[in-house]
């Protein structure tokens, strides 16, 4: 009698159902808050007479988020992901309550800083939970669900936030989220008990130093945000100092060789940063370009970005249901090739007579590529991590993602502010930078496969 293998459990198998619903809901809430605050903040700043602190309201949580990602990685590897997840939820909720009840802009900024710290703890812990609670064959599918959890808020979050601000009050943008986040987290509690507890160990050598470098990188990233709100010499000075700080601190927070895409895990981390930088760099340019060059309304230009978000979700769904590729490099290479081709296609709309539909098609292809790429890189990060280092690797992946985006946003802002005449020249340069970043990633994608001598 021939034995048959039992089919792999699905994401909604009885033992995983509550964990899947809870973790996807938490990711969705993190995404909603990140996107909704941007819609509400102009009203908040006016009501609290705090326009002078507008940049810090975004840069502050970004800085504490960078620090929290590093701390969460160390914490997960030494004590397991449960404790940093619950602490992250506590800090995240407390920050939202402080911000939602603030009577001055200074207090609101404090709330945002606390909220950012909680988000950083929580996001890394959720990745490590995936590595411990789900079998390897489900990693690409659960990360696809995480990607969809970001896409839906990107479609409806700003609109919902706008309606809340207009018809209720901006405070509800902050105060409504904890009421949903706590039940979502409680859904995960039974599943967390079944996760194999990580043995309590001492932090790895260099952990304290990494916390110091994280502080430096976080402050530098915050200065980039603040510098983007300035003009003239002060903007240039802040951006220069911040960029220098990032270049000095970031390599010390990532696996050795990440910035040169050394084979294996460093290449996976590096590709995530390149992809994030390429996509975000183009995403901030497209609405402005279509409005100024083609006369599209803000709503119409925004619908182009919506197309990219929808195809990102589709790409995530497709890769999650594909058979395991013969080569680890297949999905990253295909995804980055789509991003390269998509951004290059969008740039064609700068040519007179090119239909706007070309931009829609290009951004859809780029979104499809990101959907193929992001979940596969997340799964590879867990697969290539050494035992007991999934926290550090997940932290590095998200750090490279965030810092890559922050750096290219500063560079893109400088290009757009340069005042090239005609304006199409600035748009072309910015899109060319994004295309070059994506193309570099495409050429380096084969390096995610370790050398034959490597244990992984």
Domains and CATH numbers, the chain: 14-137+158-204 (1.20.1250.20), 257-451 (1.20.1250.20)
| 130-161 core/surface letters (b: 16 or more CB in 10 A; e: else) | bbbbbeeebbbbbbbbbbbbbbebbeebbebb
Take residue 176 and report the two structure tokens written for it.
């409504």
Distance between CA atoms of residues 49 and 130, nearest Å:
43
Nearest in space to 221 (alpha carbons), one of 96, 398, 44: 398
Is the four-CA dihedral 401, 236, 252, 198 of positive or negative sign? Answer: negative
Give residue 4's pLDDT: 44
Give residue 200's pLDDT: 54
3-state secondary structure of 196: coil
Burial of 311 (0-12, 13-18, 19+ CB in 10 A): buried
User: CA angle, corner 217, sides to 434 and 147, nearest 5?
Assistant: 50
Distance between CA atoms of residues 241 and 332, nearest Å:
33
Distance between CA atoms of residues 295 and 364, nearest Å:
21
Give residue 315's pLDDT: 92
43, 112, 405, 406 from 56: Cα distances, Å = 16, 9, 18, 14
Give residue 246's pLDDT: 82
CB atoms within 10 A of CB 53: 20
Give residue 455's pLDDT: 47
DSSP string computed for 69-96: HHHHHHHHHHH-SHHHHHHHHHHHHHHH
Distance between CA atoms of residues 219 and 217, nearest Å:
6
54, 328, 431 from 407: Cα distances, Å = 19, 28, 15
Give residue 401's pLDDT: 87
Match 């004590």 to its residue by tokens.
Answer: 79
Query: Is the separation of the CB atoms in 284 and 433 below 8 Å?
Result: no
Give residue 209's pLDDT: 84
Longest alpha-carbon distance in the chain: 79
> Which distant-in-sequence residues (6+ apart) come within 8 Å of 93 by Cβ?
118, 177, 178, 181, 182
How much of the chain, in percent, has pLDDT values that exceed 70?
89
Q: What is the dihedral of CA 186, 189, 191, 193, to 10 degrees?
A: 180
Helices (H) then strands (E): counts for the chain? 15, 0
Angle between helices 390-417 and 233-249 (to 10 degrees): 160
Distance between CA atoms of residues 38 and 35, nearest Å:
6
138, 318, 326, 349, 419 from 322: Cα distances, Å = 11, 6, 11, 33, 46
Give residue 236's pLDDT: 74
What DSSP designation does 255 have?
-
What stretch of H or E contains 396?
helix 390-417
Distance of CA 244 to the CA centre of its chain: 22
Distance between CA atoms of residues 149 and 138, nearest Å:
17
Q: What is the pTM of this model?
A: 0.83
What stretch of H or E contains 131?
helix 105-133
Burial of 226 (0-12, 13-18, 19+ CB in 10 A): buried
Which residue stretches of the chain have pLDDT < 50?
1-6, 455
In 200-359, where do the E strands start and end? none
What stretch of H or E contains 374?
helix 356-384
């Amino acid at each position: 009698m021939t034995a048959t293998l039992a089919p792999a459990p699905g994401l909604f198998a009885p033992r995983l159902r509550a964990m899947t619903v809870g973790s996807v809901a938490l990711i969705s809430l993190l995404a909603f808050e990140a996107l909704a605050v941007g819609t509400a903040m102009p009203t908040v700043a006016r009501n609290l007479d705090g326009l002078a602190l507008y940049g810090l309201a975004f840069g502050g949580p970004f800085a504490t988020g960078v620090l929290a990602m590093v701390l969460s990685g160390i914490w997960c590897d030494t004590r397991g992901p449960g404790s940093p997840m619950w602490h992250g939820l506590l800090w995240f909720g407390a920050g939202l309550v402080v911000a939602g009840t603030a009577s001055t802009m200074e207090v609101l900024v404090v709330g945002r800083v606390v909220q950012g710290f909680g988000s950083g703890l929580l996001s890394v812990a959720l990745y490590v939970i995936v590595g411990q609670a789900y079998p390897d064959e489900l990693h690409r599918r659960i990360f696809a669900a995480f990607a969809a959890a970001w896409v839906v808020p990107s479609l409806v979050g700003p609109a919902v936030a706008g309606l809340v601000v207009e018809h209720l009050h901006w405070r509800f943008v902050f105060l409504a989220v904890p009421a949903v986040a706590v039940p979502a987290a409680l859904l995960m509690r039974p599943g967390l008990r079944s996760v194999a507890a990580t043995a309590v160990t001492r932090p790895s050598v260099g952990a304290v130093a990494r916390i110091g470098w994280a502080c430096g990188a976080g402050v530098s990233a915050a200065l980039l945000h603040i510098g983007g709100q300035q003009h003239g010499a002060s903007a240039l000075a802040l951006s220069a100092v911040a960029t220098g700080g990032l270049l000095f601190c970031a390599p010390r927070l990532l696996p050795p060789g990440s910035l040169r895409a050394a084979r294996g895990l460093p290449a996976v981390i590096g590709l995530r940063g390149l992809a994030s930088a390429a996509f975000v760099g183009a995403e901030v340019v497209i609405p402005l370009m279509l409005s100024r060059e083609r006369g599209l309304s803000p709503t119409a230009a925004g619908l182009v970005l919506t197309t990219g978000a929808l195809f990102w979700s589709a790409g995530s769904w497709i890769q999650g249901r594909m058979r395991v590729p013969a080569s680890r490099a297949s999905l990253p290479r295909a995804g980055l090739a789509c991003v390269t081709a998509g951004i290059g296609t969008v740039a064609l709309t700068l040519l007179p007579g090119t239909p706007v539909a070309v931009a829609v098609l290009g951004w859809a292809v780029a979104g499809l590529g990101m959907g193929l790429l992001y979940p596969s890189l997340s799964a590879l990060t867990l697969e290539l991590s050494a035992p007991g280092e999934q926290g550090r690797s997940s932290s590095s992946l998200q750090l490279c993602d965030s810092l890559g985006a922050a750096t290219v946003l500063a560079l893109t802002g400088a290009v757009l502010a340069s005042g090239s005449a005609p304006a199409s020249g600035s748009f072309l340069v910015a899109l060319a930078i994004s295309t070059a970043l994506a193309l570099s990633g495409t050429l380096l994608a084969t390096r995610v496969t370790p050398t034959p001598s490597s244990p992984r």
